[in-house]
Amino acid sequence: MKVKYFDLKNKRVFISGGGSGIGATIVEHFCEQNSEVYFIDIDVKSSKKLISNIKKKKKRVPKFIDCNILDIKKLQNIIKNIIANKGPIHCLINSAANDDRHTTEQVDEKYWENRIGINLKHYFFAAQSVVKGMKKIKSGSIVNLSSVSWMLGEGDKVVYETAKSAVIGLTRSFAQEFGKYNIRTNSVIPGSIATERQIKNWLTPKYKKLILDSQALKRQLKPEDVARLVLFLSSDQSSGCTKQSFVVDAGIV
């Protein structure tokens, strides 16, 4: 831990897709800040492994709830129960996503709806579920994860890129609507991040070289580069920041 955000201590944080990748690193960083963390994921094995690692490091242990983000009713009930039993959620981090590669020709209506559901739809309904409580305490931070891929127009995952560009519009609309309640909404736009999944599936030596050649900073970005910014945007230290998109891509766009 390089920075201590004292205002994040005991803050209730809800994170989607927190079992692995960037989401898991965000979970761990909030636990390091002694926040009260709840996270959902469909990957039970990875989520339990994360909790075990956090316990070994003697950080505050998060609460994991098994949930498919496509099940909006279950997602909303989970959030509703947390609020009813513990109180309003202070920070919502919409992180869950799936960036499987695909071409336009491979997309049918079922696939389209599935990918929009995974990469966009639950962002809206999770925010809808936490906002009422945030209004009561006149405070809150919502951070939506997008992706630099839509800015680059990479062309190998059109539905994913469509959803991730829409996250920016969603963020700006929420920020304007909820600003009068002192609820802040921002987007974080990661570039090429060396998660386990990226390394396994796509981050070949050739692709890594292409990325590094394109970046202004000549190092591979890691999940903690994103998590640190998410912490800042969740903390009162960023109290003047809302309706903005913050790019973490080492200067690739």
Q: Is 136 helix (H, G, I), strand (E, B) or coil?
A: helix
Which two tokens mark 51? 């909790």
- Residue 58, sorted as left (phi over 0), alpha (psi -120 to 50) or beta, turns out to be left
> Is there a catalytic annotation at residue 181?
no
Separation of alpha carbons 89 and 134, rounded Å? 7
Closest of 33, 2, 237, 7 to residue 15, by C-alpha = 33
| b/e code 183-198 from CB counts within 10 Å (16+ = b) | bbbbbbbbbbbbbeeb
Strand partners, 181: none
DSSP assignment letter at 67: -
The answer to whether the beta carbons of residues 40 and 90 sit under 8 Å apart is no
Query: CA-CA distance, 110 to 124, in Å (whole number)?
Result: 20
Given 123, 160, 181, 207, which residue is catalytic? 160
Contacts of 113 (CB under 8 A, 6+ apart): none
CA pair distance 115, 97, nearest whole angstrom: 8
What residue has token string 């390091």?
32
Catalytic residues: 160
